[in-house]
Amino acid sequence: MYSGKIVFSQIMEFLPIYEFHKCVERYQGNRKTKRFSCLDQFLCMTFAQLTFRESLRDIESCLRSMSSKLYHMGIRGSIAKSTLSDANEHRDWRIYFDFAQVLIHTAKDLYSNDDFGVELSNTVYALDSTTIDLCLSVFPWAAYCKDQAGIRLHTLLDLRGPIPSFVEITDAKVHDVDILDVLVPEAGSFYIMDRGYLDFKRLYVIDQSSAFFIIRSKKNIKFRRLYSAAIDKLTGLRSDQTIVLAGFFTPDYYPDKLRRIVFYDKERNKRLIFLTNNFKLSAETIAKLYKQRWKIELFFKWIKQHLRIKAFFGTSENAVKTQVWIAISVYVLIAIIKKRLSISSQLNIILQIFSVTAFEKIELSRLLNDSDNNLLNMENLNQLQLFT
């Protein structure tokens, strides 16, 4: 019988604690702190994400009920609702932003050779955003119109994983295309975007950075066709053209040639037009790459369903950003555990298992692998399942 550490402690062993302390020192997070360190705060908030806690009072009650196990969880400070609230309100959110980048870098290395549906050695990113609505009277700093408030998560998702490589948290009034001014293009990589990012001056910056983009075109784009390539209409392609932009200003914004690909999607009975600066890949591959953009929509849906980022434990901008970055850290941490322990279960299944076994003493690899086998056996049963 396994008599070692509890599940929560085993999960935390995958954290690079040395790097965490470096992030804390960078912003003097533990300055004038005696009883409740930044690590205590991070562990409490991580516990809240893993076990689906709904409020600070909920966190306090659960942890106090297991006071004999707090030391083994790594929590050294005393647990109190007011103490955790003050920490979220006043400790610099950039501590957890920097630490999330450390975890993201680790996860990207682990997933760098994964297949994502298209045979391509280049790194492929999907860029999009999602809005989280807030109460205007409680979060006045996040107002974006007369009677609404919210924040927007602008996310660059590495499709091998998928791992969020870049996340910018802004007011909901910040337009999608403005994030292209913050983004530093990576040479040789592909950036897949929807029509909201169509700005030729900014796209030309990506082109001049030796990176590639694939973006949905708008219907009113004026252009001049130079020539057309042969296509196979059985694949859904309708045209593959090399064009230059026409009009008054756009030729100055993007003076080089572009590739315009028209694809008919039978499943949705929709005609899609793509613009790209890549002339080497086949038109069919370009269409397949754009289809992979749906993964970022699934990512947004996943984090909203399974992480605590729709109801916040604090009302200040610092508290909101702290909670979001710790939630992203938890997502990436689960992805790291899944890869390092070679677990085949989906991330939401792993999170559900952790939520009900956090205080159990069972070896982590055995816990997850046994769950894998049980799920496999259930899938192989030749009968209808009541609960799926």
What's the pTM?
0.89
- C-alpha distances (whole Å) from 242 to each of 153, 157, 215, 279, 283 are 34, 29, 15, 9, 12
pLDDT score at 367: 92
Residue 230: phi, psi to the nearest 5? -70, 145
pLDDT score at 119: 86
Give the Cα separation of 373 and 79 in Å (integer).
38
**Radius of gyration of the chain from Cα atoms?**
24
List, as one string, the DSSP characters of 51-106. TT--SHHHHHHHHHHTGGGHHHHT--SPP-HHHHHHHHHHS-THHHHHHHHHHHHH
pLDDT score at 255: 94
Of the candidates 188, 209, 205, 186, the residue with the CA atom closest to the CA atom of residue 197: 205
Cβ–Cβ under 8 Å, residues 192 and 124: yes
Give the Cα separation of 182 and 307 in Å (integer).
26
pLDDT digit string (tens) for the chain, length 388 residues = 455 889 999 999 999 999 999 999 999 999 888 789 999 999 999 999 999 999 999 999 999 998 888 888 889 888 899 999 999 999 999 999 999 999 999 999 999 888 888 888 899 999 999 999 998 889 999 888 888 899 999 999 999 888 999 999 998 999 999 999 999 999 999 999 999 999 999 999 999 999 999 999 988 899 999 999 998 888 889 999 999 999 888 999 999 999 999 999 888 889 999 999 999 999 999 999 999 999 999 999 999 999 999 889 999 999 999 999 999 999 999 999 999 999 988 999 999 999 999 999 999 989 998 766 555 444 443 433 333 3
**243-269 burial, b if ≥16 CB within 10 A, otherwise e?**
bebeeeebbeebeeebbbbbbeeeeee
pLDDT score at 372: 60
pLDDT score at 2: 53
Tokens 């920097």, residue located: 98
Structure tokens at 16: 């690079």
Q: Is the dihedral of CA 212, 213, 214, 219 positive or negative?
A: negative
pLDDT score at 145: 83
Alpha helices in 341-387, H assignment, sequence order: 347-357, 364-380
Of the candidates 205, 192, 26, the residue with the CA atom closest to the CA atom of residue 117: 192
Give the Cα separation of 315 and 44 in Å (integer).
18
Q: How many residues does the chain have?
A: 388
Q: In angstroms, how far is CA 252 from the centroid of its own chain? A: 35
Give the Cα separation of 101 and 166 in Å (integer).
8
pLDDT score at 48: 95
Structure tokens at 177: 């295309």
- C-alpha distances (whole Å) from 26 to each of 20, 39, 121, 377 are 10, 14, 36, 49
Give the Cα separation of 301 and 49 in Å (integer).
16
pLDDT score at 286: 94
Give the three-state DSSP class for 257: coil
